[in-house]
Amino acid sequence: MSYQHAADNWFSAIIIGIITMAVLLNIFRAKAGAQLYIRRISGLDAIDEAIGRSTEMGRPVTMIPGLTAFGVVAVQALTIFKYITKQIAKFATPMRLLTADAAVYAVAQEAIHDAYNEAGRPDLYDPDSVRFLSDRQFAFASGVAGLIQRERVAANFMFGEFYAESLIFAETGNIVGAIQIAGTTSFTQVPFFVVACDYTIIGDEFYATSAYLSREPVLLGSMVGQDIAKFIFLLTIAVGTVASTMLGADHPFIKLLGMPGGWDAFWRHVLGGK
């Protein structure tokens, strides 16, 4: 099997290198004490409000990472859930974390256990509060919907990768009157969450969540690095749009900006066909 390589187009590899450097430099800058700004995200401000409501009503909080397999998205989702659990632990509010991936389940158990320990309430940790329901999409959906209905949850947090089951979760939560906050990297599910949830975190705001909640310098620095990366992409898009309008889509310069073999084609063109 053949995989993608830097040699396919060195321009893309250079861009990856620049983004990596931007992220790392800003992390070190933030660690050195630079003051970095992060804008207000109302959905994340509402997390504490949702937890407070659950506490007042004495009803549980559910946390759902969707069908996320263990990876970057799952780690981010669990980081958010760990923060929520620490807040929950202060008020002894019951919680349920429901997973569809066994590896996520194993890590979630440890993360939630750690959260209760860090909050100083290890006695409140119940191993049954983190549950693996099923790795089948709609079996998982029916399990989650059933639990939300039976336990009449007061707050429902959905962070991770979601597919067709997203609306089942969100509408069931809506039926029982839960405050719902969702954040997903699956852009096809964003419209469903927008119409069915109280707050929705869109796109890369999902990755900004842990920086926003913890205000850790490493994460804030990383956010600034991401913004620089976005600026580089915007610049590439603008240059590419102008250049393809003026030079035509088949010009070697346009191929350099992203097509496999573009690097070689560009330098052949620059060196006069050699």
What residues from 157 to 196 belong to the interface with another protein (CB under 8 A)? 164, 167-168, 170-171, 174, 185, 187, 190, 192, 194-196
| Joined tokens for residue 25 | 């430099």
| E strand or H helix at 164 | none
CB of 203 to another protein, least distance (A): 4
Half-sphere exposure of 248 (CA within 13 A, CB side): 3
Q: Contact at 8 Å (CB) between 85 and 181?
A: no
Among 33, 128, 272, 273, binds another protein (CB under 8 A): 128
Q: Could you give the maximum distance between any two Cα atoms of the chain, in Å? A: 75
Among 210, 253, 254, 263, binds another protein (CB under 8 A): 210
Among 87, 93, 109, 200, binds another protein (CB under 8 A): 109
Rule CB under 8 A: say whether 76 interacts with another protein. yes
Rule CB under 8 A: say whether 5 interacts with another protein. yes
Rule CB under 8 A: say whether 204 interacts with another protein. yes
Tell which positions 35-64 bind another protein, by CB under 8 A: none
Among 25, 29, 121, 135, binds another protein (CB under 8 A): 135
Nearer to another protein, 29 or 52 (CB): 29
Among 25, 41, 106, 259, binds another protein (CB under 8 A): 106
Nearer to another protein, 67 or 272 (CB): 67
Q: Is 40 exposed, middle or buried (0-12, 13-18, 19+ CB in 10 A)?
A: exposed
The one segment of 35-43, 44-52, 137-145, 251-259 that binds another protein by CB under 8 A:
137-145
Q: Which amino acid is at 49?
A: E
Q: Compute how many other C-beta atoms are within 10 angstroms of the C-beta atom of residue 229.
A: 17
CB of 34 to another protein, least distance (A): 16
SS (H, E, C) 61-78: EEEEEECCCCCHHHHHHH
Among 142, 240, 259, 264, binds another protein (CB under 8 A): 142
Half-sphere exposure of 168 (CA within 13 A, CB side): 17
Tell me the three state secondary structure of residue 148: helix
Q: Give the residue from 112, 155, 154, 156 showing the smallest Cα distance to 132.
A: 112
Nearer to another protein, 90 or 136 (CB): 136
Total residues at the site for another protein (CB under 8 A)? 78
β-strands 130-132, 155-161: how paired? Answer: unpaired
